[in-house]
Structure 1
Amino acid sequence: MTDYTVPTELAGKRADAVVAGVSGISRTEAAGWIIDGRVTWAQYRTQGRNAGTAVKKSERLPEGAQITVDEPEPVDPTHIEVEPVQDMTLLYEDTDLVAVHKPVGVAAHPSPGWRGATVIGGLIAQGVQITTSGAQERRGIVHRLDVGTSGVMIVAKTERAYSILKEAFRNRTPAKTYHALVQGLPDPHEGTIDAPIGRHPGHDWRFAVMDGGRPARTHYQLIKAYGRVSLMDIRLETGRTHQIRVHFAALGHPCAGDLTYGADPHLAAELGLTRQWLHAVELGIDHPISGERLTIRSEYPQDLAESLRLLDD
């Protein structure tokens, strides 16, 4: 454990920003430490706070306040935890690549601050041999899905396939199709959202439509309108972080269940959603060796299918 005194330059900032500043970690990781109860007041007793009381990440810390940080044991970001991943199924496999259904709550690969299951670790646990190309912790990874998004994901098994697939995704030649259940009914029912996306200035873990952001284009078409929500077919021209979630939130139609981007928590509860209703339903690619066109689909997982069943009843 380490005691820190809030310096002048961090006075009045949120606790997660202060912890990040004094300990030299990212703000996202600092927020995780706070949520885990690793940050407490050392000897600051105003406003009813006592030594040992947990600090809240949204609290603003005054200059001179003392906090105690219980730093977790450092995790090697290149270490791959080899363990089976529940509900991760193989959709396609040959000598050059493998396609999986990535469940929600699973990361593509290990990263600093992530201690959960990964696609890479799950594949190795199943005995799938993947290429060593790329960084140790990202070997074989040619594209990614967010932890909170389920659906089709492919991984290269050979060095040649890795090189060709990485170039293909860099050039945006694969056809990436998502289905999303969004609040309300977008008008028009079919169109393109062309709006730049950048990191949200007030939240390290969120993104937003903003001037100076990276170009982002999302094509969409209505599949079915349910009244309060609409099921949309979405094709990405670019692949920015949280692109679909940010674009539809900017239109006033956030993905159902996506509380991070303004979704209605009461509606999420009614539909039994604990994450955004977003699924990578189909991926079309040219095979890196044969050139054959592959179209790989992933069916809706149980939680998303159940939400639609409730709407249809």
Structure 2
Amino acid sequence: MYLSLYNNSLNGIIPIEIGNLTILHSCLGYNNLTGPFLPQSSTFLHCKKLYWETTISLVISHPNIDYLPRLLHLNLVGIQLSGKIPSSLFKCKSLEHLELYDNHLEAETVPLEITNLTSLVYFSIPKTNISGEIPSFIGNMTSLEYIDLSYNNLRGEISSNIGNLPFLRDFFVLENKLSGQIPNLQPSLQGYGVADNYLVGEIPYSICNLSSPDSLYLSENRLDGKIPECLGNLTSSLSLVELQNNNFHGEIPKSFAQGCTLQSFRINNNQIEGSLPQSLSNCKELKVLDVGNNYLNDSFPYWLVNLDKLQVLILRSNRFYGRVDNSDVAVSFGRCVSSIFL
């Protein structure tokens, strides 16, 4: 049975009588329900997917949830969940997808028992008050493809063991208190987010080995060195690059790929020199270009007018020169760019 009471105005305690149903897929999110984590019954014995999202207020009070032997997907996002993660959760051997975003868990760090979930592919616990270091044992969970530990209080370095995960596609630890350098990146990565930490050092050369990256969030750190030239070639798949508010120097990569898929390119507030490469005109999907607060020295880039989808253009606080009062160019920019900061 598929039970969906999603997005109503229901309130009160989840009725225990629900246990008379054999549920395979439960979706109770976006209501005002309260009560224990799961009613004690055979209700969820065959359940494979639980989606209990936002505005449910639950307490993890039941000590055993290992009576969910077939559970594959557990989504408890923004439900004001409180208490400790019950150890019996880690007996759900079939679990592939675990998402606990935006709750108030009592966990000092990622529990070691997570390694018992040998089928886990998707592991997302951002904004859950976890602290401590990123444990190295995560690197032994070789089935993982997606990890999100963002918006917590994690400290220390990013474990190099993360590089042992052969199928990892997405890794996000945004807005923590991590330090040290960015470890080597495995070729399988598509999304990589370490913004808003205290990372230092250069972008590792292993970035050049990424096969089909989609997004790169490195902003708001203390990174330095040059932007790897290979980054231009990676724009055949990259849609978003955020390198702003670091200490990068040198020049922007010269060669942006033919068929460039970039939608947002932000390198503002660095120490970038040289010119704005005209190969950026290959990026026909570009919507946001922010190179402000650098040391770029170039004539005004009239050729950007050919980027029909450009909405935000920020060139301020550089060394651009030349006339900008060409009326035809001004009209053309006005059609496609909603915000221009020179």
Q: Normalising by the residue count of structure 2, what TM-score does the alignment of the two structures yield?
A: 0.22
Greater Cα radius of gyration, structure 1 or 2: 2
Point out the structure with the larger helix share.
1
